[in-house]
Amino acid sequence: MTWLPDDFVHPVHVPVPGTTVHLRPIREADTAIDYPAVMGSRERLWEIFGPAWGWPAESMTYEGDRADLRRHEEEIAAHRSFNYALLDEAETVLLGCVYVDPPERTGADGEISWWVVDELAGGDVEKALDAFVPRWIAAAWPFRHARHLGRDISWTEWLALPGTS
């Protein structure tokens, strides 16, 4: 059995209530808007994701990001994991991402994390996303116990859990 039911259809366009932004699965073609978003917020993102994922490396190149997004796009198509880009209405600016992943640690059937660019940190869009993501996951995804990394469990606590086999 895989981590998702065989007949599960992942959402492809998800408006974030109370904002003009939406989520959609990321694509390799998003590199031109992903790279500046990630690298423009790299120091804060490293503080969040660096110890667990080693991301985003200071040395990450545009081509490295393109390869990473290609991998994400392939994983989405195969339903192995999901990376949703947070985009403006015209999809010309990437404002953050939401990750929906199979569990790497015991005690959950899905692991969810997200971020916004520095300029939105602490603002209304981030607050709307913080309120929305857990509700969206509960309503649209087939998890019984989703874990929200960095939210309902700290990254340090998560790293201390036993890994899944």
Structural tokens at position 67: 């390869």
On average, the pLDDT of the chain sits at: 97
Q: Give 65-96 pLDDT, tens digit per residue.
A: 999 999 999 999 999 999 999 999 999 999 99
Q: What percent of the chain has pLDDT over 70?
A: 99
**pLDDT on residue 103:** 97
Burial of 85 (0-12, 13-18, 19+ CB in 10 A): buried
Please report which confidence band the pLDDT of residue 153 belongs to, taking 50, 70 and 90 as the band edges.
very high
Please report which confidence band the pLDDT of residue 1 belongs to, taking 50, 70 and 90 as the band edges.
very low
- What is the mean predicted confidence (pLDDT) over 91-111? 97
CATH of 16-160, one of 3.30.1330.10, 3.40.50.620, 3.40.630.30, 3.90.78.10: 3.40.630.30
**pLDDT on residue 89:** 97
Per-residue pLDDT at 2 exceeds 80? no
Q: Where are the beta strands (DSSP E) in 9-161?
A: 14-15, 22-25, 82-87, 94-101, 110-116, 146-148
Q: Give 40-73 pLDDT, tens digit per residue.
A: 999 999 999 999 999 999 999 999 999 999 999 9
Q: Domain residues of the chain, as ranges? A: 16-160
